[in-house]
Amino acid sequence: MKSTAPLFFAFIVGVIVLLSEFIPHSPFNQIVSTLEGWFMIISGFAILLGQISLIRMNTHKIVHKLDNWQYHLAGLISFGLMLTLGLLWGMQETPGILGDAPGIQAWLGQKPFDYLFDNAYLPLSATLFSLLAFFIASAAYRAFIIRGLESNLLMITAIIVIIGRTSIGTMLTGWLPENLQFWHFPNLADFIMEFPNTAAQRAILISAGLGIVGSSLRIILGIERSYLGGDK
Amino acid sequence: MRKTLLCLLFSILISLLMANTFSAEDSPWDDGKSIDLNWELSPMVKKVEICRQNGDEPVRILVTCTDATGSFRDNELQPNNEYHYQLKAYFEDDDLTLRASAQTREQWFYMGKLGFLILLLLLCAAIIYYIQAARHGKEFFIRRIAGLDSMEEAIGRATEKGKPILYVPGISDLDDIQTIASLTILSHLAERAAEYDTEIIVPCRFSMVLSAAKEVVREAYIKVGRLDAYKPDNIFYLTDDQFGFVAGIDGIMLRRKPAANFFMGSFYAESLILAETGFATGAIQTAGTAQAHQLPFFVVTCDYTLIGEELFAASAYLSKDPQQLGSLKGHDFGKLLIILLIIVGVILEIMGISNLKEFIVGAIS
C-alpha cells in the first residue's frame, strides 16, 4: 500500500493534468487549479521542515564545536534576528505583533526588517552575483585556449561575436561598401546569434521536450519509481 | 433609364461604404473566457470607442482607435456569462452607437492544440510500443552517455581520497520535471555511494525537495543494506534565496573539498559560480540541465555534461532496466519524427505551401 498509493495518485493526477491541456471545459480546469493550490499549501507546510533542518544542522555543529562552527553561529543568529524583527514589527506595509514601530522607523528611516534587507541582504546578494563577471572571464579563457579544430572554431566565433557586439566592430568594418555589408562585424555577430546559435539551442530544447514527455510518461505509468525512493 | 441605373448603383455603393456593423461572438475552441469583437464602419470615421457593459459592473473601455475596420479579443471573462458591448463611432459632425451581445461558452477541445495532441499521441504510442517490446525480451542498442558512465569513476575517486560527494539537485522546486529527473539520478548515485561507503552531501533549496531527497537517499541506503551508514544530516536545507544558496554551496566546496561534484537539475545565473568554484577545488565535476542558456557554462567548467534530453534519460540508462531502456528508443522515434517534419516543412515552405507550418504553429500557440 505504501508504494502503490503514490503510484496510483501519480497516475490519476498525471492523466487529469494531461487531459486538461486539451480539454478547456470544466471540471478539468478547476481540478488543475485546485491541485496547484494543494501544491502551494503543502509547500507552505514544508517550509517548516526546512527551518527545522536548518536549526538542527547548525545547532549540532555549534554544540559539538565542529570545524568552522562560527559560520554556523553567524547563520543561525542572522536567521533568528530577521525572524524576530519580521515578527515584531513586520515588513513594508504589513504590521508586526508590536505594530509598525513608528519610533524605530523615524530613527532608521524604515522598518528594522526592511533596513537589514536593503542594507545587508541586498548588497551581499549583489556582491555574489557580481562575481559572475570574473568567473565568465576565467571560464572563457579556458574555453578559448586553442587545442584542436573545435576550440579553434569556438575561439574564432567568439572573437567575431565579441568584436561585433562592441563599438570596435562598427569602427573596424564600417567602411565596407553596401554589397559587402554581410561581413560588417555587427552583422556577422547578429547572423551567428540569430541562425547557428538559435538552431543549436532549438535542437537542445526539442530533444529536452522529448525527454520530458518520455520521463513524464514513465512516471505516470509507474515504470519510473526511483523518485519515490524505491527503484522498480 | 441609364441615368437612373447609374444613380441606383451609386447609391448602393455609397450605402455599402457607409454600412456600419459591429458583432460579438464567443471565441471558438477555448475555455469560455473570451469573446471576439469585429467592427466594420464607414471610412469617414474619426474615432472608435468600444466598451463593455455587464450588469452592475462599471463600464470598461476596451478599445480606443481610429480604425474603420478591426477586431479585438476580450479576454479573462467568466465562462457561460452573457456580455454586452457598445461601440461608439465618432464622425466629422455626427456620432453613432452600435450594440452587440454574446455569451461565453466552454468548449470540449482546444482545436489549436490538435497538431500537438497528434504528435504527443504518436510519441507516447512509440514509447509504449518499445516498452512492450522490451518486456517481451527485445534488446535495444542504447548509445553510451559518457557523463553517466563516469559516475563510477567519480565515486571511486571520492572513495580513494576519502572525501565526500556533493550533489546539487538544481535550484527549482519539486514541480519542475528537471528536479524529479535529478532525484532519480540521486537515487542511483546514493546506492553506489552506499556500496562504496562514501559520504554524500545534498544541499537543498526548497523544503519539498529536501523531504524527497531525504527519502530517496534513505531508501537507496536501505536497498544496499547500509542503513547504518546513512547520515540524515548530510541532506539539508540551506536557503530559498538563489544567491544565498550558491554562497552556501561554495562554502561547502571550499571547506570540505568534495572529490566529486554533481550539478543535476534546473540551474540559472548561478551555474557558472557553482561550477567554477568546483573547478577551482579540483573536484571531478558532472553537470546536467535542460536549460539551454546554462549549458555552455557547464560544458566549459565540468568534466562531463548531460545535455538536455540526457538528463531525463539518465535514470533509465543507469537502471539498466529493459523497460526503461525501451522508453529511450521511443525518444529516438520522436527525434526521427521531428527531423522528418522539419525536412518536409522546409520543402513545403520552399514550394509556397504553408499548411503544415500553420498546423504546427497553431499547435504551439
The per-residue pLDDT for B159 is 94
Specify the CATH superfamily of domain B19-103.
Immunoglobulins (2.60.40.10)
Instruction: Give the DSSP per-residue string, B73-93.
Output: EE-SPPTT-EEEEEEEEE-SS
Question: Domain map of chain B by residue range?
Answer: 19-103, 111-125+324-364, 144-320
Interface ipTM:
0.88
For residue B309, give the nearest of A47, A53, A210 by CB distance: A210
pLDDT in tens, A62-96: 999 998 899 999 999 999 999 999 999 999 889 99
Residue B323 reports pLDDT greater than 60: yes
Q: What dihedral angle (degrees, nearest 10) is formed by the CA atoms of A210, A215, A218, A221?
A: -90
pLDDT at A232: 47
CA distance B153 to chain A (A): 22
Q: Where are the beta strands (DSSP E) in chain B?
A: 21-26, 35-40, 47-53, 60-65, 69-74, 82-90, 95-103, 165-168, 200-204, 235-237, 260-264, 284-289, 304-307
| pLDDT average, residue stretch B102-122 | 90
Q: Does A43 touch chain B (CB under 8 A)?
A: yes
Min Cα separation B200/chain A (Å): 15
* Extended strands (E) in B111-210: 165-168, 200-204
Please report, for residues A223, B107, B162, the alpha-carbon distance to residue B253 in angstroms, rounded to integers and kept in the order given.
35, 54, 15
Contacts of A67 in chain B (CB under 8 A): 255
Spelled out in words, what is the top-level CATH class assigned to the domain B144-320? alpha beta
Where do runs of H (alpha helix) occur along B224-308?
Answer: 242-256, 271-280, 295-301
A4-20 and A28-63 helices, crossing angle to 10°: 130
Instruction: Tell me how many residue pairs between chain A and chain B have CB atoms under 8 A apart.
Output: 205
pLDDT in tens, A140-161: 888 888 778 888 888 899 999 9
Query: Which are the contacts of B68, defined by CB distance < 8 A and separation ≥ 6?
Result: B40, B41, B42, B43, B44, B45, B48
Burial zone of A218 (CB within 10 Å; 0-12 exposed, 13-18 middle, 19+ buried) = buried
